[in-house]
Structures are given as C-alpha cells and as structure tokens.
Amino acid sequence: MRGLFSLLTMCTDPSALEGLTWLACYLTTGKHLLFYQSFGTVLLLLSLAAPLALGLGFLGAMAKRSSVIGVRQLGQVYVAMVRGIPDIVFFLFVPLMIDQGLEILRHYTLCPDVTAPIFQGNDFVVCEAAKLPLSSAEPWVHSLYGFSLALAAFAIVFGAFAANTLDGALGAVPAAQLETARAYGLRPGQVFWRIHVPQMWGYALPGLANLWQILIKATPLLFLLGIEDIVYWARELGGMKGNRFDYPHPDWRIWYFSALLIFYLSMTWGSEKLFARLQGRLAKGQATLAGKGAGV
C-alpha cells in the first residue's frame, strides 16, 4: 500500500517525471485502467455470446429438421437470412431493431395520450418516459444496455451459423446407430437425446471450433456498436498527444495494436489447443477417422 501511495504521489506532477517512473505513471492513468477493463468486456462478451449462440443454433437446427412445415420454414429462413447478409450489416441492424422496437412498445404503453407520429421524417421521436435507458439513468445502466444489445446481435448472428453446423452434424450420425436404438425399444425422444445428440457432438465440434475462432475475431465490432472496447481505447490512447496533455507522446498506436495482436493470437492459439484435446476425447470409441487417430 505504501508503494502504491508513493507512486500516486509522484504521478501528481507528470511534467517532473522521466524514464520508468514516467512510464509507470502513464500506464496507470484512469484511461489506461479503462483500457485494461475493456479486455474483461471482451472476455465477458465471449463467455455469454458463445452459449447463447449455441442455444439458438440448437433451436435453429431443430426447427430446420422439424416435421411441422411452418416451423421448418422459419428455421430455414432464419439460417438463410442471417448467413446471407453481411455480418456488419446485421450487427448494426439488430441493436437498432431491438432498441426502437422496445421504445415503440413503451411509447404506446406509457404515453397513450401522445398522438404525434413516432417517425417524423428522418427523426425517431418517442416520449421521454419511453426512452431506453432513461435520461436520468446512471452511466453504468447505459453501458449495460448497450452491451446487452451487442450481445443479442452476436448471439443471433452466430446462432445462425451454429444452427447450420449442428444441422449437418445431426445428419452425419450413422443411421444404423439410430435404427439399432429403435430396435432395442427406445422411444423416439430417447433415441434423440441418448443416442443422436451425444453422437452429434463429435461431428459438430470442428465446425463449432471454427465458429468460436470467428467469434473471437469478430469482437472488435463492439467498437462499431459504440462500446468502448479494446480497439476504441487502443486508438484513443495510442494516438499522438501534444503538449496540452499530461503525458505527451508521439503516435504509439502501433504498440497498442501490437498488444491487441498478441491478445487475439493468444486467445485463438489457446482455443485451438483446447478444441484439439476436446476433439480427441469425443472421438474415442467412434468409427471415424478422428476416432481411429485417438486410439480406437
């Protein structure tokens, strides 16, 4: 604690600092702490978006294989529409659609006396009580709301890709295994959950691993959604700072973006190793090339 207090005392006058002391104070400014915190934002997005996308993907795959025509068509449209539209367009469209949709519902519910149209030329106008978040809300509420909209966009987009992967994996499970289970008297639901789904993961994992890598590389899109992520802070902190700043320095963006390069390479490299081990465990006992390679 005394060392930290001493450092903070020294940092009160940046113009009197030099060398490593200047660098230590520079790297512990408030904006740098927000920069370090933004790495946690990216990791939180990945930890939440991955299971949500997988869940939506499973529902989408079930819809595509449904015997009900309406449900099957809905699943096919969801997968085809999201996979056929550029990701960046959908990432910008989904948060706007959800935000305006919620505000329209709140407008008609909370402000029934307001008769002015919501869409007025190029303007989107709702009553003050219908705005999300409210103008009186704390800053963290605005941040959480923006993050939630971004999370929804990531889940919907990558859920469509996961649905296509899971649908193909379900179709790759040998029909003989399913017929054998039925011959033993298992009901259709038991065949699906006890045989079909467990066997599916071995076929789905390579595609899901690739999808996870793409999800990691897509997180810089948070910057385009107005969230102060690692890309935002790397550009903000690395840009040239003149003498009017407490810590003037030349253009250091190459160093900040090099740190991001190392971060993303570490994430993708570690994920590749993890998925390779998981694939080996799932492949054991299966009559596939991967299973033979795993020592079957």
Q: Using one digit for the tens of pLDDT, what is the confidence trace for 19-69?
A: 888 888 888 888 999 999 999 999 999 999 999 999 999 999 999 988 899
Q: CB of 50 within 8 A of CB of 212?
A: yes
- Between the two ends of the chain, the Cα-to-Cα distance in Å is 57
Two structure tokens written together for 235: 């550009």
pLDDT of residue 43: 94
Cα–Cα dist 296/155, whole Å: 36
Q: At a CB cut-off of 8 Å and minimum separation 6, what does 125 contact?
A: 116, 117, 118, 119
Q: At a CB cut-off of 8 Å and minimum separation 6, what does 148 contact?
A: none
Q: Determine the 3-state secondary structure of 87 from DSSP.
A: helix
Q: Delineate the domains of the chain, giving CATH numbers in brackets.
A: 38-237+250-279 (1.10.3720.10)
- Name the β-bridge partners of 123: 120
The model's pTM is 0.84
Question: Which of the pair, 137 or 47, is modelled with greater confidence?
Answer: 47
Two structure tokens written together for 207: 């595609």
pLDDT of residue 296: 44
Within a 10 A sphere around the Cβ of 90, how many other Cβ atoms?
20
Two structure tokens written together for 250: 């030349």
Residue 289 pLDDT greater than 50, yes or no: no
Q: Using one digit for the tens of pLDDT, what is the confidence trace for 165-190?
A: 999 999 998 888 888 888 888 898 88
pLDDT of residue 285: 60
Residue 155 belongs to what H/E stretch?
Answer: helix 139-172
Placement of tokens 């790495």 in the chain: 39
Q: Using one digit for the tens of pLDDT, what is the confidence trace for 203-249?
A: 999 999 999 999 999 998 888 888 888 999 999 999 988 877 788 88
